[in-house]
Amino acid sequence: MRIGYFTHLYPRATDTFIQREIAALRARGVEVRTFAVRRPGVEHDVGAEVLAEKSKTYYLLPAGIWRLVAGNISVFFKHPRRFLAALALALRTRRPGLRGLALQLAYLQEAILLSIALRREQILHVHNHLGDNSGTVTLLASRLTGIGYSITIHGPHIFFDPTHWALREKVHYARFIVCISHYCRSQMMLFSDPADWGRLKIVHCGVDSQRFRYQDVRPQVRRLLFTGRLAIEKGVAVLLESLRDLRARGYQLELTLLGDGSDRQRLQELARRLGIHEHVVFAGYASQRQLSEHLERSDLFVLPSFAEGVPVSLMEAMACGVPVLSTCVGGIAELVEPEQTGLLVPPADCAALANAVARYCDDQELRQRISRQARQTVVVRFNLDTEVDKLTQLFSSSAQT
């Protein structure tokens, strides 16, 4: 079975969950070819796994004008009805205004390039992660080729503007839609036709717990860890304010921020204004090996997000036995059971976040109990092998129809 995986940028330092999923599929004998619109920048080249995937990925852009012209002519004359159907769908699902039209026509051009590559590689099914602009390209490429497609929807940002991202149409034309949680599936049910709800399948993101060495908690809490994009929705500013308050209360804590993003400079300036910059390390992107090393050195993992799906970063910390603290948003409560496998606080509540960290610091027995139960939850309910088995069956059924 030969399938294609397609995203806007691949591989990135932040999408290790996609890389692991593809590796697990390949280990099961599924032939996976990877495609992306653009090549990620060198800042994402954090390890051998990323470099290996980058060397094997086919990139649609950049593409010269003559390649685009030739592609349009070829696709139109070989399959004129499919071409016109895809054009009509692109126009029907565009955002209002000239910019919306221009973007949708650009996505159609990318879809033409992708459709040619899919046919050349004899792809039986194409799968997209995230479902945003690359999901639109996937939808249009499927209309151009007749090749079935599926999308893994993570959220949360795609739920903020479901009409713009044409979620109803993406569900309607898909062979199936993977939802990473019950929360995610409920949101997709809101934005799709009830007749299409049967296409919405729950397959969790998962981790290979064998890759993460479990260790019992240490007697004292010193090192806090956050991993993720440095973007406003991750709530890092609230974490920095909480750290200032905790240090003022006498807790000698250090924070490492593992990741990068558009908010980095603003957060660095905030840390200086709060007087905690000497206790905050902006470590940038990390390889999978470096991530494991950071987790082994950390005492608490904190993810203070305003909006989330079901974060793999929490699963990784739980697999290592690092007690986790997060917010009760999105699908997080499907992973972190309060008082059992972690602590949850309201989003954007600096005092509640600081108090939860302090509670962890003051109670080693709580940390140890949560650490062990969290590891077991990941092993049993968010196991990569189990979830990829589900995905493999879905791909197999799609390729046979």
One-letter amino acid at 218 equals R
Q: Is there a single domain that holds both residue 198 and residue 221?
A: no
Domain membership of residue 245 as a residue range: 210-381
CB 304 within 8 A of CB 347: yes
CB 206 within 8 A of CB 237: no
The DSSP code for 111 is H
CATH number at residue 257: 3.40.50.2000
Mean pLDDT of the chain: 95
The gap between the terminal CA atoms of the chain, to the nearest Å, is 13
The pTM for the full model equals 0.93
What is the mean predicted confidence (pLDDT) over 166-181? 97
Q: Is there a single domain that holds both residue 78 and residue 196?
A: yes
The pLDDT of residue 400: 72
Q: Is there a single domain that holds both residue 196 and residue 270?
A: no
If you search the block for the tokens 């196991």, which residue do you land on?
383
Q: Is there a single domain that holds both residue 39 and residue 170?
A: yes
Neighbouring residues of 337: CB distance < 8 A, sequence distance ≥ 6: 377
The DSSP code for 211 is G
CB 253 within 8 A of CB 221: yes
E-only strand ranges, 318-358: 324-327, 343-345
**How far is 107 from 140, CA to CA, in rounded Å?**
8
Neighbouring residues of 272: CB distance < 8 A, sequence distance ≥ 6: none
Residue 401 has pLDDT above 70, yes or no: no
Tally the domains of the chain: 2
Assigned token pair, 273: 């204004």
The pLDDT of residue 47: 84
DSSP string, 14-62: T-HHHHHHHHHHHHTT-EEEEEEEEPPPGGG--SHHHHHHHHH-EE--S
What is the mean predicted confidence (pLDDT) over 96-115? 95
State the helix-helix crossing angle for 312-320 and 364-381, rounded to 10 degrees.
120
Q: Is there a single domain that holds both residue 270 and residue 186?
A: no
Q: Is there a single domain that holds both residue 152 and residue 34?
A: yes
Q: Is there a single domain that holds both residue 219 and residue 163?
A: no
Q: Is there a single domain that holds both residue 140 and residue 226?
A: no
DSSP string, 114-178: HHHHHHHTT-SEEEEES-SHHHHHHHHHHHHH--EEEEEE--SGGGG-TTTTTHHHHHHHSSEEE
What confidence tens digit (pLDDT) does each residue in 206-258 have?
A: 999 888 999 999 999 999 999 999 999 999 999 999 999 999 999 999 999 99
Number of H helices, E strands in the chain: 15, 13
Please state, for a pLDDT cut of 70, what percent of the chain lies above it: 100
Q: Is there a single domain that holds both residue 191 and residue 226?
A: no
Residue 54 has pLDDT above 90, yes or no: yes
Q: Is there a single domain that holds both residue 129 and residue 178?
A: yes
What is the mean predicted confidence (pLDDT) over 159-175? 94
The DSSP code for 330 is T
One-letter amino acid at 207 equals V
The pLDDT of residue 164: 87
Q: Is there a single domain that holds both residue 275 and residue 296?
A: yes
Select from 192, 190, 219, 229 the least CA-distant residue to 313: 229
**How far is 205 from 179, CA to CA, in rounded Å?**
9
Q: Is there a single domain that holds both residue 76 and residue 135?
A: yes
